[in-house]
Structure 1
Amino acid sequence: MNNSIVRRLGLAASLAAFALTTTPALAVDQGDWLVRLRGIGVMPTSDSGGISPDLTGGSLEAQRAYVPELDITYMATENLGLELILATSPHDIDGQGAVAGLGKAADTWLLPPTLLLQWHFLPKGKVRPYVGAGINYTITYGENATASLENAFGGPTTVDLGNSLGWAVQAGVDIDVAENWFVNVDVKYIDINVDAEFRTGGTTRTADVGIDPVVFGIGVGYRF
């Protein structure tokens, strides 16, 4: 590594350290409200079991999505917060295994309001890490079958995805940048599994679709 690069890295580190030490701490208190707006990536990690009764060698896999997310935290104490997460995301559902040739088989929207109990480790610090755990209820809407799925199933097909109740965990950090303003980095894992039903004429096919996304987010927040 040449001296020019070393000097630039050293200058960047010095400026970051100076900004952190000169930014006033928010000193989060009991009764405060923290509102964050993030850009998130929703990364599904699971696929379905077989499609019953006749395509058990095939499965379905929800694809990733990138959307905005709003969350609101109420500080019940200096350390304990209650956070409600609000976002909705569109997902393509692709065929896998014996139905991989379908490509995109369907699409849907997920609305997964999530309530988390958080522990904030350093409420008086400029850098405030936290962890959380809670529950999630996911509502599916806007389901549609693609032409490739309807051709494979033999005619017009109605897609019905059930809702899901599961758990969620979270870790993140708030970093002060100005009075009452902070930046936020956050990661969550949400347990989401939905029952899928495909009706084509008098034939009904079912599948258990596991979504189980890891959700990465970065954004800004404001304390009231």
Structure 2
Amino acid sequence: MIHQNKPARRRLSQHAAKLLGGASLMLLAGTAFAQSTSQNAQTDTVEDKGSLLHQVFEYTKNNSYFRVGVLHFQYYGTSSRLKVENAQGLAAQGFGSGESRLDHTGSSTGNITTLGGTFGMYIPKTGKHLAMEVTLAPPLKLDFEVSKNAIDESLAPETNNGLETGIPPLGQSIGTLKALPPNLTIVYRPWVDTMFQPYIGAGAMYLYTYDTDVNNEVLNAYGNEPTLNLTKPVACVGQLGMDMKLTEKMFLTADVKYVGCAEVEAKVNNIVVNAPNLSPTVGPINVGTVSSTNDFKAVLYQLSFGMHF
């Protein structure tokens, strides 16, 4: 067996020698190329000034800016009527079996004022007329609200056979949510050397929401912990603004962004309510799920102080 394996071992050694030889030649060629490149470089420093990473760093340092200021979120969206799904027992008598729409109702979100920041970078070879901007803000804690008749009227005042339920109105606030809506826009400045520099932009925003909490007293009457779920679409952004130059490095900005072209579906699940006129006899009323579809429209107003790097 040993003698029969010698030719195979010999062939394996020959292949290994060829591979090592090839690798040695490649290494020698690479070394020679590196030495040639080093000799032809225009700088004698250790750092390679022509490296892509260094070029990106230098460009970013000399062609970017940031601004920080006050950001106000104002919601202008509209909503479909509240829809009740999967109501059971006596709730099905009040809301209807299967699913039903509640007239003159809807949902909305609250407004908030906070800090906001923007990082911008001029696009190469555009003479600083075009720039990319990313606007960020701390997590926005917003109220999730019902609207119209849902605020001060009972959603199910009586059953189909005329029995009064005693279910109270919900009030305006249903719960809270946190939003972290990063947005990216491309802006165009027709004038870049004047004191006042108006601009226009367009882009997209990711409507990311999390950490939802239903804290409405009516919906939490039985401690059943209903949940709030919202879809997370991408919205379009339109932007108008004006920079006012203070010094070579500092400026003030007034900026307005319109956010739209998106639908957000909101669902409050696992709703169990107290019907004072009925619950002592039949217990809690299982409403199921209440949902709405919001045509998302909002405006972000921002006043900020900026600096060029």
**Short-chain TM bin:** 0.7 to 0.9
User: How far does residue 52 in structure 1 lie from its aligned partner after superposition?
Assistant: 1.2
Q: Deviations over 1:140-184 (max 9, x none)?
A: 012111223515899431111111211000000111112301111
Equivalent in the alignment of 2:52: none
Equivalent in the alignment of 1:198: 268
For structure 1, list consecutive stretches of 5 or more residues without a partner in the other structure: 1-29
- Give RMSD over aligned pairs: 2.3
Q: Which of these residues, 35, 39, 64, is aligned with residue 70 of structure 2? A: 39
TM-score by length of 2: 0.59
Work out whether residues 173 and 216 of structure 2, in 8 Å CA contact, stay in contact via their aligned partners in 1.
Answer: no
Output the amino acid matched with 1:71. Answer: T
Work out whether residues 49 and 56 of structure 1, in 8 Å CA contact, stay in contact via their aligned partners in 2.
Answer: no
Work out whether residues 193 and 212 of structure 1, in 8 Å CA contact, stay in contact via their aligned partners in 2.
Answer: no
For structure 2, list consecutive stretches of 5 or more residues without a partner in the other structure: 1-60, 85-99, 153-170, 272-285
Rounded to whole Å, the distance in 2 between the matches of 1:34 and 1:198 is 42
Equivalent in the alignment of 2:303: 218
Q: Map 1:68-87; keep pairs closer than 5 Å.
A: 68-76=115-123, 77=126, 78-87=128-137
Equivalent in the alignment of 2:252: 183
Work out whether residues 114 and 137 of structure 1, in 8 Å CA contact, stay in contact via their aligned partners in 2.
Answer: yes
Equivalent in the alignment of 1:13: none
Equivalent in the alignment of 1:91: 142
Rounded to whole Å, the distance in 1 between the matches of 2:175 and 2:294 is 12
Q: Which of these residues, 49, 67, 79, is aligned with residue 48 of structure 1? A: 79
Q: Map 1:7-22; keep pairs closer than 5 Å.
A: none
Equivalent in the alignment of 1:11: none
User: Which structure has more strand as a fraction of its residues?
Assistant: 1
How many matched pairs?
Answer: 196
Output the amino acid matched with 1:44. Answer: Y
Equivalent in the alignment of 1:162: 231
Output the amino acid matched with 1:49. Answer: S
Matched, 1:65 2:112: yes
Rounded to whole Å, the distance in 2 between the matches of 1:96 and 1:138 is 21
Matched position secondary structure for 1:178:
coil
Rounded to whole Å, the distance in 2 between the matches of 1:167 and 1:152 is 39
Equivalent in the alignment of 1:20: none
Output the amino acid matched with 1:200. Answer: N
Output the amino acid matched with 2:269. Answer: R
Work out whether residues 197 and 205 of structure 1, in 8 Å CA contact, stay in contact via their aligned partners in 2.
Answer: yes
Matched position secondary structure for 2:217:
helix
- Mean Cα displacement is larger for which, 36-45 or 201-210? 201-210
User: How far does residue 55 in structure 1 lie from its aligned partner after superposition?
Assistant: 4.9
Equivalent in the alignment of 2:87: none
